[in-house]
Copies of this chain bind each other. A is one copy, B any other.
Amino acid sequence: MSGQIQWVNHGQWAEVVLSNPNKFNAMSRSMWRQLREVFEAVQTQSALRLVVVRGEGDHFCSGGDISEYPCFRFDEASLSDFHENEVWGGLSAILNVDVPVVADIRGNCMGAGVEIASCCDVRWAHVQARFGAPIAKLGFPMAPREAALIFATLGDLTAREMLLFASILDAPTMVQRGFLNGCWDTVALDDRLEQTVEKVLSLSSQAARLNKQTLRGLRVGVPADAQPASYAYANHPQHREGIAAFLDKRLPQF
């Protein structure tokens, strides 16, 4: 078993670190299972208001850990179990989290890296980050739910270019294609992340939770949880505080 998912708790926010440093943070089977455990734990911690996902060292994630593939990929049942349970278990755990999730993408973001980034709510990248899903070089297609996920975030054009033509695209192109919210050099990216943490901690956590539940249902082909009672928040203290603070011309305290 190689690699691990690290967890750095800062109280109101946390970092989830993809760590398999000898392999540019390639996702091993045990890392997928840990990813699920970590995000299932995130969802139970009501004090948390933000999660940042990043890679250990200079890269986000280079894909799957191919050294493990000969052990299970050539049998249909174990291949299906890998994608439907291990990989989708990890990805859906991120998708099901109700707090905002930021992807901090530097270096290589390939295959599984694109999938994990697609489960995040904003994607901020270093200007020299590189993106792709060149599994056509490995002789196999993307699993259906993973394909639906990246189709929803990459768009039709880029999903086809990556999957069918094994294209590797740079960060400015991925901004232009609508996958990244922006790309910067190291100093500006660090600043942006710091400001984001401060900003999100000042916003209403219940608004974020309810918005994420609503938005979750809108991606085509990506399974969603049941919708909440849409207006049950009417009497919620954060709803009252937000409007009172605006009318009082003061900052709200969420």
Please give the residue numbers on chain A whose beta carbons come within 8 Å of chain B beta carbons, in ascending order: 66-67, 69-70, 73-76, 79-80, 83, 100, 121-123, 135-144, 147-148, 151-153, 155-157, 159-161, 163-166, 175-179, 181, 196, 199-200, 203-204, 206-212, 214-215, 217-221, 227, 230-236, 238-244, 246-247, 252, 254
Contacts and interface: CB of A to CB of B under 8 A. Distances in A.
Closest 6 CB pairs of A and B: A139-B242, A141-B210, A138-B242, A139-B238, A139-B204, A136-B203
A contact patch SS: helix
Nearest to A208: B164
A139 B70 contact: no
B231 A76 contact: yes
A219 B156 contact: yes
6 contacts: A136-B203, A138-B246, A139-B236, A160-B215, A161-B181, A163-B211
B75 A196 contact: no
B165 A196 contact: yes
Contacts of A240: 74, 139
B75 A147 contact: no
Contacts of A165: 100, 121-122, 196, 199-200, 203
B204 A140 contact: yes
A165 to B, nearest CB: 6
A243 B157 contact: no
A66 B214 contact: no
A76 B233 CA distance: 7
> Which among A163, A176, A200 has the highest number of chain B CB atoms within 10 Å?
A163
Nearest to A123: B157
Given A177-B178, A178-B178, A211-B163, A233 B156 contact: no
B233 A69 contact: no
Contacts of A79: 231, 234
> Which among A137, A151, A159 has the highest number of chain B CB atoms within 10 Å?
A137
